[in-house]
Every structure is written in C-alpha cells, then in structure tokens.
C-alpha cells in the first residue's frame, strides 16, 4: 500500500447522496467536499461521509476560487482529484422530458472551468453511454479542453457488472491526468460476475416481506405498496425472471396501454433473476411498473435497502429522506460505491508512478 495515500484528496462535483464519495473514501482518499444543487441529498451525504462537506450550490454560479478560499485547495496539486459525474438526463436513452433535461447538457463544461483553474493531478468522469453517442454531445468539446490543458486520458463504455457491482449498468468512464510519469488505466475487470443471489435474499440478511412493508430501522428494508390488481399480477408472474406476458390475456389484469402491444416494455412488471446481475437500478426501482424491479420470488418490488445493495452501498449507509421515492432517487442517481472504490485504488496503486 502507498503509505502516503492519505494525501490524495478529492472534490466530488454533482455528488448527490455520496456514492462516488463513499467509494473514494473506502479507497483511502480524503474527499474534502461534494458539490450538488439538490439540497435533499445534503443530510444523506454528510451523515454517511463525516468530514466531507456538502456544498449546496449550482456549479454554474460557484466561483472558481471557492475551494481555494474556503478549503485551502492549492493549484497544480498532483494529488488532487476532481470528479465530475454530471446529471445525465439529456443524454439518457430513457429521458422523456428533453426540454427539462436541456439544463444538464453543458454541465461538463462548467466542471471544466474548475479543472482549468486548479489543474488537479487527476480527473474522473462517469456518465451514461449517450454522452458518447448523442449527436449533440458536449464530450468532444470537453476532451479538447482538457487536452489543451495538458491532460492525457483513457475512456471506455463499461458494464459495472464486470467490476464487482451486482448490476448490469453500462456507463462511460474516464480517467485523465496531466502527470507525465503516470500510466493511467481504468480498473481491471473482475473474474467473478456477482448476481442478485450473491447479495440479496434471506441468506444475505433480507427477511421476507410483503408489499407495503415499512421498516422503521436504519436498515430501511422498506418497500412500496401495490394495488389489489397489481398483487394479482405479481402472483401470476413466474418466479425468477417472469414478465407481464404471463397475464397479458386476462382482461381484468391487462393494462390498456399494452393491449395488442406485447413487444414493448416487456420488462415492466418483470421479476429479477437470481442467477444474473440485476438490471440497471434507476430512480424508479421501487415501482414494478417502471422496469424489471420485482423481487425474484416475493410478490413485491425490491426494497430501498435491496436497491441500495445492488448499487453496492454499504448496508449501514442510511438514506435521510422522508419518502421511498426520495431515497430511490438518491440511490438510482448514484455512482456505485464499489466502482468508485476501484477508481480510487487505480489512482493510488496503479497510476502513481513516482519513485
């Protein structure tokens, strides 16, 4: 281990409830601050990451010298990491409100303003694959900017199921550095692919519960309720990967939007498979009607804690919200902690080439 790894520090832009911060801290990196406009994430972030300060600011209105003045951050610090996992609604394939998502389109360039001012040793970026494939993407402009500032980078669209996360989650991942003697690379892929069965179920501490169960403990094994009709739908959906086609021919259960349209949104009301990674955990994972988010065998959606576990949050990570939807939004928007940890360790153990 690098005995001096404690000197690595990071600023986590667009930090949300702290998935990236949590993982970097697990790697031994001092995350001095997280920046996010969403005040609903503040309590969750600071409660679970003591010592990391949540700055509730719009990045567009945050002065470049803010961290210099308030945290003593120096320019040209070789062991400073700046993280920019900007909101990705504009580039997401599941975006339904393009006009609202327009606000997130250029956030990466606002992040670049801080890179130019501080010239950190390292840059981390995580986003949806659409930031590469979308015709209007800001990514080429961002890459041109950091290259002009002297950064070399490596990038790839990865599936986080290959990096210790029990979830199929395709993401764009980038590491950049301006240090000449550093060889940069993304984390190495795992030999083992973790599945739902590896982390959920009774053997992993998740007791059997029913739809609508409210867990008042910090474990937060809380699950959304279901209507009588949806409970019947779940009862007819085969365990371990079944989908809504099992009750499509029953008029009292079939939804009008799916009549004669068995070829669309087949994952909605579907169950996860025990022996596969989960599907991508979105901000709507608490609802069986929004994807394959039903438990493999129990007649319910997955719980808040189950969704967090599939996002590789520690089981003692507490989501300080007043609603299931609020917790799910923090969880679904997060960078999985395990992948963030591996990014941090890649910088500490593999990138640092100085003797």
Classify residue 201 by its DSSP letter.
S
Give ∠ CA 110-112-114 in degrees, rounded to 5. Answer: 90
Residue 133 neighbours by CB under 8 Å, 6+ apart: none
* Helices first, then strands: H and E counts in the chain: 12, 7
Q: How far apart are CA 106 and CA 127, in angstroms?
A: 13
Helix (H, G, I), strand (E, B) or coil at 31: strand
Catalytic member of 15, 88, 257, 351:
88
Residues near 205 by beta carbon (within 8 Å), at least 6 away in sequence: 315
> Which helix or strand (DSSP H or E) is residue 33 part of?
strand 30-36
Which are the contacts of 346, defined by CB distance < 8 A and separation ≥ 6? 175, 185, 186, 187
Strand partners, 289: none
Is 257 catalytic? The answer is: no
Helix, strand, coil shares of the chain, percent, nearest 5, are 35, 15, 50
What pairing do the DSSP bridges indicate for beta strands 53-56 and 30-36? parallel
Cα(335)–Cα(18) distance, rounded to whole angstroms? 8
C-alpha separations of 265 from 42, 97, 132 in Å: 34, 18, 25
Give the integer Cα–Cα distance in Å for 200 and 203. 8
Residues serving a catalytic function are 88
């Amino acid at each position: 281990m690098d005995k001096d790894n404690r000197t690595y520090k990071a600023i986590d832009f667009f930090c949300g409830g702290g998935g990236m911060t949590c993982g970097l801290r697990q790697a031994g990196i001092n995350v001095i601050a997280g920046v996010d406009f969403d005040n609903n994430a503040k309590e969750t972030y600071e409660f679970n990451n003591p010592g990391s300060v949540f700055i509730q600011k719009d990045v567009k209105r945050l002065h470049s010298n803010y961290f210099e003045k308030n945290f003593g951050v120096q320019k040209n610090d070789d062991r400073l990491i700046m993280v920019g996992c900007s909101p990705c609604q504009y580039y997401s394939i599941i975006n339904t409100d393009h006009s609202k998502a327009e606000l997130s389109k250029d956030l990466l360039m606002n992040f670049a303003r801080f890179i130019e001012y501080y010239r950190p040793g390292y840059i981390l970026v995580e986003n949806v694959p659409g930031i590469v494939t979308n015709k209007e993407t800001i990514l080429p402009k961002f890459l041109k900017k950091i290259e002009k500032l002297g950064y070399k980078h490596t990038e790839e669209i990865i599936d986080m199921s290959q990096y210790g996360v029990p979830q199929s989650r395709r993401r764009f991942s980038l590491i950049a550095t301006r240090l000449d003697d550093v060889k940069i690379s993304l984390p190495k892929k795992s030999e083992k692919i973790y599945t739902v069965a590896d982390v959920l179920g009774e053997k992993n501490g998740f007791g059997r519960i029913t739809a609508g169960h409210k867990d008042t403990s910090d474990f937060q094994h809380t699950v959304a309720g279901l209507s009588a009709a949806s409970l019947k739908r779940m009862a007819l959906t085969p365990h371990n990967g079944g989908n809504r086609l099992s009750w499509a021919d029953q008029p009292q259960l079939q939804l009008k939007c799916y009549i004669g349209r068995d070829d669309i949104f087949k994952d909605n009301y579907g169950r996860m498979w025990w022996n596969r990674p989960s599907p991508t955990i979105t901000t709507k994972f608490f609802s069986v009607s929004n994807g394959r988010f039903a438990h493999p065998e129990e007649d319910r959606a997955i719980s808040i804690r189950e969704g967090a576990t599939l996002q590789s949050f520690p089981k003692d990570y507490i989501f300080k919200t007043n609603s299931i939807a609020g917790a799910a939004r923090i969880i679904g928007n997060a960078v999985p902690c395990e992948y963030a940890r591996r990014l941090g360790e890649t910088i500490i153990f593999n990138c640092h080439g100085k003797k």
